[in-house]
Chains A and B, each alone.
Chain A
Amino acid sequence: MSNSDLHAFTPLLLLAGASVLVMLLIVARLSHRVIQSVSLVLFLVSFASLAYIRNVLPYHIDPLFVIDSFGVFMMGLIIFSGLVVNVLSYIYFEEKEEGPREYYVLLFLCTLGACVLAVSEHFISLFLGLEILTVGLYALIAYLRKRNHSIEAGIKYLILAAFSSAFLLFGMALIYLQTGTMAFADMAKAITSGNVPPLFLTGLGMMLVGVGFKLAVVPFHMWTADVYQGAPVPVTAFIATASKGGVVAVLLRFFIMIDGFRMEGLELMLICIAIASMVTGNLLALRQNNIKRLLAYSSIAHLGYLLVAFIAGSAMVPHAVSFYLMAYFITTLAAFGVIVVLSHREADAEDLSVYKALFWKHPVLACILSAALLSLAGIPLTAGFTGKFYILATGIQGGFWLLAFVLVGSSVVGLYYYLRVITMMFSGAHDHLPEPKEKHPVFLAISMVVLSMLTLMVIWLGVYPEGMLSIVNQFHLK
């Protein structure tokens, strides 16, 4: 690796180094507070390093990686969510029975894995990134190992993720057999002439199964609600954002480079998955009384929405997907942040009854959660609306009216359950809530500041998205 390679690789190296550094700090028996603060700084440094490599884009590290503006943007989103999760983790884990220090090592590793995915253009780097991400997640999900739900969620995720990795590998092997290469760009050259060979399509289909599991789209969604519910709340936030973001990024890059949109069978399959995800996710969320499960089903629906833009296959796709992911990340982080702040030692604030009359007790938290839920529902003035608008525009431009109608119809259904939570917060008499956490005033204050900033970003992206759009609209993946 040359010097300039290393330069372009700085963010990933920093993340990898950070995990080692945190491990050393744990050996030195430093307190949770110190370790948390150091990892916060390290996250900030990694995030800042993205600006540092700005001038060398796009940069190819052949054959595994391409570091272009889209990749950097996605890395930025992933590291940012890692950062927010890191901030939220202190008040959550400080009270728990488990020693929280090793958690930060795993968090760095998972972030690293997701970032690797975002910049990979080769099956090897794809698989490596994915495994770094998932192996870290096994441990993170089951981190509170004395709790039944955690263990159950961890095992479920382990089995299904291993299963899906197997599918993914088999698919890759088939594609390799057909094209003789594992680099996306060479693959595209190998299949340009004439028809797409059936073996290649089969491989692609199997890969889609594997990726579908990671993204939790219907019919590969069975694990989602249980894992969301069982995992510690900050980890759930990470699964909902960073881990999905990385996979979407690599999937998009892969599809655009091999021009997967022109393969009709594949398109049909994606359309079915998208419709099934939107409908099923929203319908299943209707009757949930656990907000973590509710958000799990909502995330299934949101990935379905995302696929609507994805399927359109036009030049607008990376723009719409990037913007939507950004809106979705910020919103989801804000929503889970509120759950973290409201959770206490024994149980997470996951039952909907906890949120009754929240507005009259914690107006700020209630406003943040309302903004987040309205954004998820796609109501104007919020980031979610702009994102949904972009997706609809992309879909309709591609002529996919059916998908647009399903999107609209299912998001009306979705409104019902988002409104249910909001109504809950605004209704009822007081007295139901656990007392606010006064135990860690500094970290609580930091968390609140971060959450408020996320909310402002949600509103900013809804009211004046032009700045972000002009950044996003420069992405070219070919």
Chain B
Amino acid sequence: MILVLLIVILMAGGILALIGGKWSHSFPRGVALASCTVAFLMMLSLWLGRYKGFNIDADSNWLIEYHKEWIPSFGISFHLAVDGLSLLLLVLTCFIGILAVLCSWEEIRERTGFYYFNLLWILAGVAGVFMAMDLFLFYFFWEVMLIPMYFLIGIWGSENRVYASYKFFIFTQASGLLMFLAILGLYFVHGNNTGFYTFNYFELINTEMPPQTAIWLMMGFMIAFAVKLPVIPFHTWLPDAHGEAPTAGSLILAGLLLKTGAYGMLRFVIPIFPGAAAEIALPAMALGVAGILYGAVMAYSQTDLKRLVAFTSVSHMGFVIVGIFAFNELALQGVVMQLVTHAISTGALFIMAGMIKERLHTRDLGQMGGLWTQMPRMGALGIVFAMASLGLPGLGSFIAEFLILLGTFNAQVWITVIAASGLVLSAVYSLRIVQKIFLGPPRGQLAADLSGREMMIMAALTISIVWLGLFPQPIINTARPAIVQLVQMLEPGNSLQSHQSYVK
């Protein structure tokens, strides 16, 4: 029930904000903050309450389930369930949600009601995606997060927003429809096999199909997730969308929407099509490595701060796809870590880009410089997150990328070697951010340092990234049952892997 409540709170908050926005300018943001906070506390208490329960020997790694018939004529049900992986991402969703509201606090002055409506509905959609255990419902939420995002970019974005919002929408919608076709295909394959037509994940997971069919159906899913993640060559929407979106939009895009792609691969592609996934592992990893290098090189050559950060996402998400297709526990744990830490570090960089833009009214790196003298607080925090982005030990991203590389080394040595060189490139672009913005001669702009609200946002992010860097064990423990099960699915013969003991 708590799962339904989460979605209801977010959606109802959105509607309340929309209605209240007619009369009061500041009411919607209050409602939005309140509903995100309540949702966050709910998920946090769920996590802490169940923390002892994350045990790979348990009968089932599903913590809570909610099941209700929705459209029985088609075997569609309203089926939500949460395991450790989903729970982590849900906590992250609510956390990023709070930050998104806070960083829009002053930035958004027009049409606030509709703005916060969209914001909360995106969060509801994302939360739904992380919980849905019915493929129809999953697609439903997949779309729910799309349209508000389109509005968010299209209405509150910067100059080139219309183009960016179209591009975002059409890329994701087209790929989403392909996934929908694949879902329908799966539905009928399963139905024809068993005579029992259902969209239930737990039934469809056991579908037996000829390898050829499996490849085709899997490609439908893969393309949708690859566009979202994004994997080269499906990434072209991302710099535009991230660059033009308002700060909160970029934060949610980088922090949450990209994660839905990775989540989809972990939750659907590998369990439903283990054989087919193994077949495309090498090409997928190659694309991942290409993404790491390409993203890093492109990031280095950007002059627009937000586009730069956007390309670093392409690079970091390359690690995710490499890790997923390494198919072992170490790498997958790294993937989960990467999802969380990337949301925080890249989110922080986007928030900072937004703060700088609010002050200097530009995103052009060429017009920045020497900001440290005027904004020492931001300068210091900027360095922290630039270091997080390049993977400095002690900060969360290091753990994530290290685990991924370690795991991948077991699977594909050469892929790992090339991927590791991405770390060097990430140092280059991260240091360039610091140098261009904070160091060098001051350009004469007058900019106030961070305000109390902004310090609060950055403090929350800084604490999280340091915590993840120094003590990542809670994340690893929480995700472990789900990941162990995933690995077992991939190799049914010998269910316990030798390298399981690495992660303790």
Q: B451 near A: Cβ within 8 Å?
A: no
Enumerate B122-178 residues with CB–CB distance to A below 8 Å: 136, 139-140, 143-144, 147, 150-151, 154-155, 162, 165-166, 169-170, 173-174, 177-178
Q: Which of A359, A374, A389, A469 contacts B147 (CB 8 A)?
A: A374
A412-B173 contact given A380-B143, A396-B185, A427-B155, CB 8 Å threshold: yes
Q: How far is the CA of A412 from the CA of B169 in the complex (A)?
A: 10
Q: Which of B111, B114, B140, B166 contacts A416 (CB 8 A)?
A: B166
Q: Which of A112-120, A139-147, A403-411 contacts B (4 or more CB under 8 A)?
A: A403-411
Contact A396 B73 (CB under 8 A): no
Which residues of chain B come closer than 8 Å to A392, judged between CB atoms?
180-181, 184
Contact A419 B74 (CB under 8 A): no
Which residues of chain B come closer than 8 Å to A411, judged between CB atoms?
177
Contact B144 A412 (CB under 8 A): no
Which residues of chain A come closer than 8 Å to B169, judged between CB atoms?
415, 419
Q: A393 near B: Cβ within 8 Å?
A: yes
Enumerate B165-217 residues with CB–CB distance to A below 8 Å: 165-166, 169-170, 173-174, 177-178, 180-181, 184-185, 187-188
- Bin the interface of chain A by size: 20 to 34
Which residues of chain B come closer than 8 Å to A427, judged between CB atoms?
154-155, 162
Q: How far is the CB of B136 from chain A (nearest CB, A)?
A: 8
A415-B173 contact given A396-B181, A396-B188, A423-B154, CB 8 Å threshold: yes
Q: How far is the CA of A137 from the CA of B331 in the complex (A)?
A: 68
Contact B71 A379 (CB under 8 A): no
Q: Which of B71, B165, B181, B188 contacts A469 (CB 8 A)?
A: B71
Q: Which of A360, A380, A389 has the most CB of B within 10 A?
A: A380
Q: A426 near B: Cβ within 8 Å?
A: yes
Q: B70 near A: Cβ within 8 Å?
A: yes
Q: Which of A393, A409, A412 has the most CB of B within 10 A?
A: A412
Q: B49 near A: Cβ within 8 Å?
A: no
Interface string of B408-440 (1 = CB under 8 A from A): 000000000000000000000000000000000
Q: A195 near B: Cβ within 8 Å?
A: no
Q: A397 near B: Cβ within 8 Å?
A: yes
Q: B72 near A: Cβ within 8 Å?
A: yes
Contact B174 A412 (CB under 8 A): yes
Interface string of B64-100 (1 = CB under 8 A from A): 0000001111100000000000000000000000000
Q: A465 near B: Cβ within 8 Å?
A: yes
Enumerate A406-435 residues with CB–CB distance to B below 8 Å: 408-409, 411-412, 415-416, 419, 423, 426-427
Contact A465 B170 (CB under 8 A): no
Contact B162 A423 (CB under 8 A): yes
Which residues of chain B come closer than 8 Å to A380, judged between CB atoms?
139-140, 143-144
Q: Which of B74, B162, B177 contacts A393 (CB 8 A)?
A: B74
Q: How far is the CA of A408 from the CA of B178 in the complex (A)?
A: 7
Q: How far is the CA of A419 from the CA of B74 in the complex (A)?
A: 30
Q: How far is the CA of A389 from the CA of B150 in the complex (A)?
A: 22
A426-B155 contact given A419-B150, A465-B71, A473-B73, CB 8 Å threshold: yes
Q: How far is the CB of B134 from chain A (nearest CB, A)?
A: 13
Q: Which of B73, B139, B177 contacts A470 (CB 8 A)?
A: B73
Q: A466 near B: Cβ within 8 Å?
A: yes
Which residues of chain A come closer than 8 Å to B177, judged between CB atoms?
408, 411-412
- Bin the interface of chain B by size: 20 to 34
Interface string of A448-478 (1 = CB under 8 A from B): 0000000000000000111001100100000
Q: A381 near B: Cβ within 8 Å?
A: yes
Enumerate B311-338 residues with CB–CB distance to A below 8 Å: none
Q: Which of B72, B111, B143 contacts A379 (CB 8 A)?
A: B143
Q: How far is the CA of A430 from the CA of B170 in the complex (A)?
A: 28
Q: Which of B73, B151, B165, B178 contacts A466 (CB 8 A)?
A: B73
Interface string of A367-381 (1 = CB under 8 A from B): 000000010000111
Q: Which of A374, A385, A393, A466 contacts B184 (CB 8 A)?
A: A393
Q: Which of A359, A393, A423, A473 has the most CB of B within 10 A?
A: A423
Q: Which of A381, A465, A473 contacts B144 (CB 8 A)?
A: A381
Q: How far is the CB of B73 from chain A (nearest CB, A)?
A: 5
Contact A416 B144 (CB under 8 A): no
Enumerate A344-389 residues with CB–CB distance to B below 8 Å: 359-360, 374, 379-381, 385, 389
Q: How far is the CB of A391 from chain B (nearest CB, A)?
A: 11
Q: Which of A393, A396, A419 contacts B166 (CB 8 A)?
A: A419
Which residues of chain B come closer than 8 Å to A385, judged between CB atoms?
143
Which residues of chain B come closer than 8 Å to A408, judged between CB atoms?
174, 177-178, 180-181
Q: How far is the CB of A283 from chain B (nearest CB, A)?
A: 15
Which residues of chain B come closer than 8 Å to A464, judged between CB atoms?
70-71
Which residues of chain A come closer than 8 Å to B178, judged between CB atoms?
408
Which residues of chain B come closer than 8 Å to A415, judged between CB atoms?
169-170, 173
Q: How far is the CB of A460 from chain B (nearest CB, A)?
A: 13
Which residues of chain B come closer than 8 Å to A465, judged between CB atoms?
71
Which residues of chain A come closer than 8 Å to B180, judged between CB atoms?
389, 392, 408
With CB as the reference atom, state the residue of chain A lying closest to B185: A396
Contact B143 A416 (CB under 8 A): no
Which residues of chain B come closer than 8 Å to A389, judged between CB atoms?
136, 180
A466-B71 contact given A396-B181, A419-B150, CB 8 Å threshold: yes
Which residues of chain A come closer than 8 Å to B185, judged between CB atoms?
396
Q: How far is the CA of A95 from the CA of B181 in the complex (A)?
A: 48
Contact B165 A423 (CB under 8 A): yes
With CB as the reference atom, state the residue of chain B lying closest to A385: B143
Q: How far is the CB of B76 from chain A (nearest CB, A)?
A: 9
Q: How far is the CA of A244 from the CA of B140 in the complex (A)?
A: 30
Contact A397 B166 (CB under 8 A): no
Q: Which of A374, A389, A404, A409 has the most CB of B within 10 A?
A: A389
Q: How far is the CA of A408 from the CA of B176 in the complex (A)?
A: 10
With CB as the reference atom, state the residue of chain B lying closest to A390: B74
Q: How far is the CB of B189 from chain A (nearest CB, A)?
A: 10
Which residues of chain A come closer than 8 Å to B150, judged between CB atoms?
419
Q: How far is the CA of A464 from the CA of B70 in the complex (A)?
A: 7
Contact B73 A405 (CB under 8 A): no
Which residues of chain A come closer than 8 Å to B71, judged between CB atoms?
464-466, 469
Which residues of chain A come closer than 8 Å to B143, judged between CB atoms?
379-381, 385
Which residues of chain B come closer than 8 Å to A419, judged between CB atoms?
150, 166, 169
Q: How far is the CB of A91 from chain B (nearest CB, A)?
A: 26
Which residues of chain A come closer than 8 Å to B187, judged between CB atoms?
393
Q: How far is the CB of A321 from chain B (nearest CB, A)?
A: 15
Q: How far is the CA of A123 from the CA of B223 in the complex (A)?
A: 49
Contact B154 A426 (CB under 8 A): yes
Which residues of chain A come closer than 8 Å to B165, judged between CB atoms?
423
Q: How far is the CB of B219 from chain A (nearest CB, A)?
A: 12
Contact B147 A379 (CB under 8 A): yes
Which residues of chain A come closer than 8 Å to B73, judged between CB atoms?
466, 469-470, 473
Q: Which of A360, A381, A423, A466 contacts B72 (CB 8 A)?
A: A466
Which residues of chain B come closer than 8 Å to A426, judged between CB atoms?
151, 154-155
Q: How far is the CB of A339 from chain B (nearest CB, A)?
A: 22
Interface string of B275-319 (1 = CB under 8 A from A): 000000000000000000000000000000000000000000000
Q: Given known contacts A389-B180, A393-B188, what 8 new A-B pairs fall within 8 Å (CB)?
A: A381-B143, A381-B144, A393-B187, A396-B181, A397-B188, A412-B173, A419-B169, A423-B166
- Would you give 16 A-B contacts (Cβ < 8 Å), ordered by A? A360-B111, A380-B139, A381-B140, A381-B144, A392-B181, A392-B184, A397-B188, A408-B180, A415-B169, A415-B170, A419-B169, A426-B151, A427-B154, A427-B162, A469-B74, A473-B73
- 4 nearest A-B residue pairs (beta carbon): A380-B143, A412-B174, A408-B177, A469-B73
